[in-house]
Amino acid sequence: MLALPLPPLKPCRFLKRKNRFLVESDVGPLHLPNSGRMGELLLPGTPCFYHPRPTPKTVGRMILVESQGVLVGVDASLANRLLELLLREGVFGSLADLRKEVRLEGERLDFSARIGGKEALLEAKNCNRVEGGLALFPDAPTPRGARHLRLLSGFGRAGGLAYAVWMVQHPLARAFALDPEDRVLYQAAREAKRAGVQLLAYRVRPTLEALHLEEQLPWVWLPPQEDLEGHHQGHG
């Protein structure tokens, strides 16, 4: 099993969120590398684990929280390191010319590479929202995510390999879906699938020592939002 080692962690308790990237804890202010809402995870008093690394504004970086008796990863920046791990292990094919943070049409994608001799673009996304075993993305509207998918679609239509890979840092996930409430992202993903973009999701099981990459999750297409609204109106 592939695993991404974590830095040394210490326990703390979440108190409140100050802004998108800053939380208050019982050990002091912590950097939270995740812009999602995470309302079901970040409850006052929740046990958390952080990497102590003082900066002028924080005492460290929050990495894990405890929820429903399991550890959940909240550091969204680790998604691309998990994808790099898969790439370097040859999970998608023989790898060459791996480059990070590639600029394309004013956006930045995580990786470009040659996979099996073909040009490839890859983007990693993080997910830690799970409801009843279903991982749902996004946790907050993401116009940037939709732009990335459209770039991958164009690359796919031009004959390149394109991958969008979601890393679900929650061991209770059994399947993955895009939340149709984010209509722009949902439509961009539908177009990406038609353009040949590989849409993949992997379950990641966090421990205090590492993030363990587990199996690929089944992808579920929930009904688009307009279908749901029409259904509700029809039964009004």
Q: Show me where the domains of the chain are located.
A: 3-73, 76-222
| pLDDT, mean of residues 207-224 | 97
Can you tell me the distance from the alpha carbon of 161 to that of 217, in angstroms, rounded to the nearest whole number?
21
pLDDT value at residue 234: 44
Backbone angles phi and psi of 115, in degrees to 5: -120, 120
pLDDT at 231 over 60: no
Which residue, among 210, 214, 220, 219, has the nearest Cα to 73 in the 3D structure?
210
Tokens representing 199?
């849409």
Which position has the token pair 């959940």?
72
The pTM is what?
Answer: 0.93
pLDDT at 89 over 80: yes
1: pLDDT confidence band, cut at 50, 70 and 90?
confident
CATH class, range 76-222: alpha beta
27: pLDDT confidence band, cut at 50, 70 and 90?
very high
| pLDDT, mean of residues 143-165 | 96
Peptide bond into 171 cis (omega under 30): no
61: pLDDT confidence band, cut at 50, 70 and 90?
very high
Tokens representing 58?
């924080």
User: Cβ neighbours of residue 203 under 8 Å, at least 6 residues apart?
Assistant: 135, 168, 170, 171, 173, 214, 215, 217
| pLDDT, mean of residues 11-40 | 96
CATH 2.40.50.580 fits 3-73, yes or no: yes
pLDDT value at residue 227: 60
Can you tell me the distance from the alpha carbon of 198 to that of 121, in angstroms, rounded to the nearest whole number?
10
Which position has the token pair 């060459």?
96
